[in-house]
Amino acid sequence: MSYQVVHSTFGRYRIRIPQLAHDSDFASKLKALVESLAFVTEVRINAQASSLIVSYQDDVCSTTALEKFVSCIQAAVDCVDIPFTESLPEGEDLKPEVNQWKDLGFPFLSLSLALLAAPLELPPLIVVLAIAGAATPWFNRAADSLINQRQPNIDLLDSAWMTMQTVQGQFIAPALKTVLVEVRRALRGNTTETREELSLNVLNELDQYVWVELDGEEQHVHISNLHQGDRIIIKSGEMILVDGIVVYGYGSIDTQNLTGSSTPVVCSQGHDVYASTILLEGELCVLVKRVGLNTRAGLAAFLAELAPVHDTKIGALQAEFVRNAILPTLALGGTIYLMTGNIGAAISPYQFDFGSGIPISLSTTVLQALIYAVRHGIYIRSGGILEALAQINAIVFDFDILALDSPETIEAIAILQSQNIDIYLVSDAPESIACDIATGLGIHPHQVCAEVPLNQKINLIRGLQHQGKIVAFVGDEEDEAVRLAHANVSISFANTSEIPHRTTDVVILEDDLRGVTHAIAIAKRAMEIIYENTATIVIPNLFMQIGGGMVLGVNPVYNVIVNNGTAFIAEFLNGSRPLFETNFLPPLRSSSQRISQGNFASNGKALKQGELAKRLGVSSQSLTSKRLKPEFPIWTQARDPEGIAWDFDPVAKRYRHSLA
């Protein structure tokens, strides 16, 4: 595939691709692929000029961005299926409206006048004008959609319903609707402001000075100058500002800011501690693993502020259904009126208002699930990825990332298989070795792909997708970028102090394979709540609007109460309740406690597994099987050309000079 970079500037590329001029299918696939990249902000295709114009975030390296775009071009040429990345409806269709309390003046005025109209014999014109003022936002949104987007939206149905009720002299129902809807929107806006304020407070709290232990002395250093491997001193009453491991000391920690649990946790040497928690008593020396936005608390604040919850396929399909149902609903109302002459029954379907059902449950449940996950050591990039995780039925593991001697690995694979998820293993090792290891892990030898080039491993993922499976690939984020790009969900482990949240869909923050099972469990539970919310809204509304409004002629006030009451329950009660009533998920085990015992020199040269294997003249699989054993430094020293002993750093997943 030929292409040419015509123009590039800071945060923008213009690439000429001749095939765009005559291949609309290729153009749509390419646009969807590029839009799926997390760092991309805008994608345009000019077919006449055969050009792809991409804008992306300024903090992304231009070379890295270009490499990603070229990969997308090649993937589009190869006709790669693009599940979960189709062009979605405009984001505004998926985002619930928010309001402020000051916007409730007209709605409450209209309701007050509607209630007092009969007792005080108020002129109907005054009440009508008040209701019209309260309903102005609906009229404006409906007109804007018709004029600018050239299509009707859900506000058109609401506007028609309120207008017809008012014309009939039913003042209370439309006035009550404006009040209840605006109250919900104000509560939603207040919740959003509170969440953003809490996120900002967390980020501000993590931007302070800490005491660092250097050469036996304590120095006051700003947290931005900390690096992985530094040692900081935490004293009683202080907030812990990093994710790390206790090197020495003893203390009681309040973890409520992070986990919500009010029970203090006692920790000592080898225990993990996390940013935003508070040391109630004692003193700790902590080895730094991550700081700032790369900590669990920092990532949770990042997600809370960004709220990446509007890219789900179910939300897109629901928004499309609502748009496509508006005109038929209007036609249904007209048909009922022609057949019955009853205008109340005719406009009752206009109150179905399923347009707020899915967005409401998404905006609360999905965000809660993302934050819950990252606080428990699993970073999930967006709501769309969460949705895909819930549907995973095949997982491809790269051999090199499996801790073969860890009981958690066998436990995780057994849990996945019990959920009818097919497990596959890809490896560079000889087939006999790979099959033996797979058998020990409970994986059938027929599901092992060994001694094959990269393309065949990619073909495995494609083949599973062509069978209708939703595939996750679990591998090293740095070395497996190509395979990660072809899977529905890419999962990697945090190899360094910085989380690769722009390039990987799911990042497990600890070296524990159960993080994969936890991520799937969280995703499935979140989707269950979304479906519960949808049923909570749809079923009562169907009974009330069809049975009550169209058949029995129930007072429209009851329709309004049911319509808004179910939405309130879904958003503020069911959608906001905890995902798990108890500590359902066991904490992920960190294999990095050995660091606190000083087994390696933190300032020594760090090698990747492949680099050390080449240096020692052994296979990568040999290192994997021996790296956590006590005799590993002696074993490596005997094979090193310079007689250097090496030890494994589980946090960075690198090999360093050993002090043992």
* pLDDT digits 0-9 by tens, 144-167: 888 887 888 888 888 888 998 898
Joined together, the tokens standing for residue 4 give: 């040419």
Judged by average pLDDT, the poorest of 299-313, 340-354, 365-379, 437-451 is 340-354
Q: 644 pLDDT band (50/70/90 cuts)?
A: confident
Joined together, the tokens standing for residue 334 give: 């007209």
Joined together, the tokens standing for residue 64 give: 């890295």
Domain 397-487: what homologous superfamily? HAD superfamily/HAD-like (3.40.50.1000)
Beta-bridged to residue 473, according to DSSP, are 396, 490
Cα–Cα distance for residue pair 332/386, rounded to 1 Å = 37
Sheet holding 40-46, edge to edge: 4-9, 12-16, 51-56, 40-46
Q: Is residue 67 classed as helix, strand or coil in its secondary structure? A: helix
Cα–Cα distance for residue pair 396/483, rounded to 1 Å = 10
- Between the CA of residue 635 and those of 319, 405, 611, 618, what are the distances in Å? 61, 17, 16, 11
Identify the architecture of domain 4-80 in CATH: 2-Layer Sandwich (3.30)
Instruction: Centre a 10 Å sphere on the Cβ of residue 170 and count the other Cβ atoms it contains.
Output: 17
Range 224-252 average pLDDT:
89
Range 345-363 average pLDDT:
72
Compute the CA torsion angle 577, 305, 206, 40 (nearest 10 deg): 130
> Which pLDDT score is estimated for 477?
57
Per the CB < 8 A criterion, the answer to whether 411 and 514 are in contact is: yes
> Which pLDDT score is estimated for 516?
93
Longest dimension (CA), the chain: 101
- Between the CA of residue 228 and those of 96, 242, 300, 425, 428, what are the distances in Å? 41, 10, 20, 32, 31
- Strand pairing of 471-474 and 394-398? parallel
> Which pLDDT score is estimated for 49?
67
- Between the CA of residue 625 and those of 129, 223, 420, 522, 630, what are the distances in Å? 78, 37, 28, 31, 12
Q: 653 pLDDT band (50/70/90 cuts)?
A: low
> Which pLDDT score is estimated for 90?
43
pLDDT at 387 over 90: yes
Closest by CA to 178, choosing from 256, 112, 82, 126, is 112
> Which pLDDT score is estimated for 594?
43
pLDDT at 564 over 90: no
pLDDT at 498 over 80: no
pLDDT at 91 over 60: no
pLDDT at 600 over 70: no
Range 50-69 average pLDDT:
78
> Which pLDDT score is estimated for 129?
92
Cα–Cα distance for residue pair 625/613, rounded to 1 Å = 12
Q: 100 pLDDT band (50/70/90 cuts)?
A: low
> Which pLDDT score is estimated for 422?
93
**What is the crossing angle of helices 124-134 and 172-205, to 10°?**
30
What is the pTM for the complete model shown?
0.72
Residue 255 DSSP class? -
> Which pLDDT score is estimated for 605?
62
Higher confidence at residue 546 or residue 79? 546
Cα–Cα distance for residue pair 330/475, rounded to 1 Å = 52
Cα–Cα distance for residue pair 579/410, rounded to 1 Å = 26
pLDDT at 597 over 60: no
Q: 475 pLDDT band (50/70/90 cuts)?
A: confident
> Which pLDDT score is estimated for 623?
82
Q: 436 pLDDT band (50/70/90 cuts)?
A: confident
pLDDT in tens, 505-523: 899 988 888 999 999 999 9
Tokens 């508070």, residue located:
278
pLDDT at 645 over 90: no
> Which pLDDT score is estimated for 41?
83
> Which pLDDT score is estimated for 273?
92
Judged by average pLDDT, the poorest of 138-142, 176-180, 308-312, 411-415 is 308-312
> Which pLDDT score is estimated for 563?
83
Per the CB < 8 A criterion, the answer to whether 286 and 231 are in contact is: yes
> Which pLDDT score is estimated for 94?
47
Judged by average pLDDT, the poorest of 408-412, 420-424, 626-630 is 626-630
pLDDT at 638 over 90: no
Q: Is residue 587 classed as helix, strand or coil in its secondary structure? A: coil
DSSP letter string over 462-504? HHHHHTT--EEEE--TTT-HHHHHHSSEEEEE--SSS--TTT-
Judged by average pLDDT, the poorest of 119-133, 245-259, 496-510 is 496-510
Average pLDDT, the chain: 80
Region label for 200, one of left (φ > 0), alpha (ψ between -120 and 50) or beta (otherwise): alpha
Closest by CA to 329, choosing from 548, 161, 140, is 161
Per the CB < 8 A criterion, the answer to whether 570 and 357 are in contact is: yes
Cα–Cα distance for residue pair 538/475, rounded to 1 Å = 41
Indicate if the alpha-carbon torsion angle 65, 70, 73, 75 is positive or negative: negative
- Residue 60 CA, chain-centre distance (Å), reads 20
Cα–Cα distance for residue pair 556/564, rounded to 1 Å = 12
pLDDT at 650 over 70: no
Half-sphere exposure of residue 330: CA atoms within 13 angstroms, side-chain side: 15
Tokens 């405009």, residue located:
90
> Which pLDDT score is estimated for 500?
57
pLDDT at 141 over 70: yes
Higher confidence at residue 657 or residue 352? 657
Query: What are the contacts of 390-393 at 24+ separation with CB within 8 A?
Result: 390/520, 390/523, 390/524, 390/526, 390/527, 391/470, 392/421, 392/470, 392/471, 392/472, 392/488, 392/489, 392/520, 393/420, 393/421, 393/422, 393/469, 393/470
What residues does each domain of the chain span?
4-80, 207-291, 397-487, 598-657
Higher confidence at residue 74 or residue 222? 222
Identify the architecture of domain 207-291 in CATH: Distorted Sandwich (2.70)
Closest by CA to 563, choosing from 529, 540, 546, is 540
